[in-house]
Structure 1
Amino acid sequence: MDAAARARLIRALAGTVIAHADELTGLDQAIGDGDHGLNMKRGFETVLAEADTLAAQPLPAMLAGIGKTLVMRVGGASGPLYGTLFLTLGKTLPEESGMADAAPALEAAVAAVKARGKSDAGQKTMLDVLVPVLEELKAGGEGLPARLAATAHAAAEATVPMRAVRGRASFLGERSVGHMDPGARSSALMVEAVVTWLEEQA
């Protein structure tokens, strides 16, 4: 993967999150602080502005750089959680990375997010997307990119009937039921962006 491909990956991730900022804000207004979209947009606008500098580095360093930016620029719980995700991916991936390295790296990153947020799948959080996506990635096989995108989308939808157990939404109790988790949605958007980028690389 050359610097141009890495830059396209950054722009795919950042562009998707920024384009859906209003949707993410609307989801968070229903069950959270109402700032998820705004915070994520601010963080990824900074990432986008640094795209060329970040992309000039090897993939692990690039991902770690994205993580550091998100920790510094994204407020609320999302900054530390997404920062942890990207920092751990960067720390775990070897410098010469291939698809075979993706599952172990994501497994480490998901474990780090669980530890940072003291949460797990089934609690109406971003983990409800990341965990099923990880399992699909580990399964491998034919049509994997499309399956990852479909899994991410379905997993975000599956948070709608859940009762929130962690985060601000947990204070609402039963009133959190009937709303998609904004963190699950932003995670799904990122997975879909990576899948689109992968398909364009093929």
Structure 2
Amino acid sequence: MDSARTRAWLRTAALYLDRDKDRLTRLDLAIGDGDHGVNMHRGFLAVTAALDEWEQDDLTAGELLIAVGDTLVSTIGGASGPLFGSSFRAMGKTLSAPGPDDDSRRFAAALSAARASVHRLGAAEPGDKTMYDVYEGAVDAFTRVADTGGSLEAAARAAADAADAGVRATELMQARRGRASYLGLRSVGHQDPGAASLALIFHALAHALEAK
């Protein structure tokens, strides 16, 4: 994926997170600190502001995503900053390294690296009611399409659909990680806000690629 499409993805993600910040905050009020929507909005607002500066630097897609990761770590509060930041940094490092020539398979590898970084940092497993529940299905869906020769756009749409399914699944789970885990059974019946934010980012990717 080239830098122009990467910029379009990031700007679209910022718009989606701005639009849904109140919903994300309500989700977090139910099982967390109640600041997730504000934090994500602040982080991606900082990204969009930086994009104007980075425009002059002629950064590659990989370099852009590494810079995004650094920005998110420094501007998003709580656990979300390191988790989202490390995942973007992992994507950027993978895209900056030698890999498959095919765009879809190359980006699938980047998403796999992002998922692995969240797994390492958060020690989350499928079913823990975290953003990892979205990463698990979305990356698998993207990779399946990429491995069968599907386009980047088709893979991103499959990932976005799988991300939605992952968010819905968190509603029925009991949280086993993070602040929500302190609620025990009371966490059941609420979607995980981090998972919901990640699904928006996957939808932004699909939208940006389809709008090229």
Gaps (5+ residues) in structure 1? none
Structure 2 residue 190 is the aligned partner of structure 1 residue 179: yes
Structure 2 residue 125 is the aligned partner of structure 1 residue 109: no
Structure 2 residue 136 is the aligned partner of structure 1 residue 134: no
Structure 1 residue aligned with 2:165: 154
Structure 2 residue aligned with 1:188: 199
Structure 2 residue aligned with 1:93: 95
Q: Which amino acid aligns with 2:11?
A: R
Gaps (5+ residues) in structure 2? none
Deviation string 1:69-109 (CA, Å, 9 cap, x unpaired) is: 00000000000000000001011113797222011111111
- Per-residue deviation, 1:125: 0.2
**Which stretch of the first structure deviates more once superposed, 8-17 or 62-71?**
8-17
- Per-residue deviation, 1:2: 5.6
- Counterparts of residues 22-61 of structure 1 (less than 5 Å): 22-55=22-55, 56-61=58-63
- Count of residue pairs the alignment pairs up: 201
Name the CA shift for 1:37/1:95 in 2 (closer, same or farther; >3 Å): same
Native 8 Å contact 1:54 1:65 kept in 2 = no
Structure 2 residue 209 is the aligned partner of structure 1 residue 198: yes
User: Which one of the candidate residues 68, 71, 89 is aligned to 1:69?
Assistant: 71
Identity, in percent, stands at 43
- Per-residue deviation, 1:167: 0.3
Distance 2:120 2:206 in 1: 26
Distance 1:18 1:149 in 2: 18
User: Which one of the candidate residues 115, 118, 121 is aligned to 2:123?
Assistant: 118
Native 8 Å contact 1:7 1:52 kept in 2 = no
Distance 2:32 2:204 in 1: 25
- Counterparts of residues 14-29 of structure 1 (less than 5 Å): 14-29=14-29
Q: Which amino acid aligns with 1:191?
A: F
Name the CA shift for 1:2/1:91 in 2 (closer, same or farther; >3 Å): closer
Native 8 Å contact 1:137 1:148 kept in 2 = yes
Structure 2 residue aligned with 1:144: 155
Distance 1:95 1:59 in 2: 11
Deviation string 1:41-66 (CA, Å, 9 cap, x unpaired) is: 11111111112233531000000011
Distance 1:22 1:34 in 2: 10
Distance 1:2 1:166 in 2: 35
Distance 2:199 2:142 in 1: 14
Query: Runs of 4+ in structure 1 displaced over 6 angstroms?
Result: none
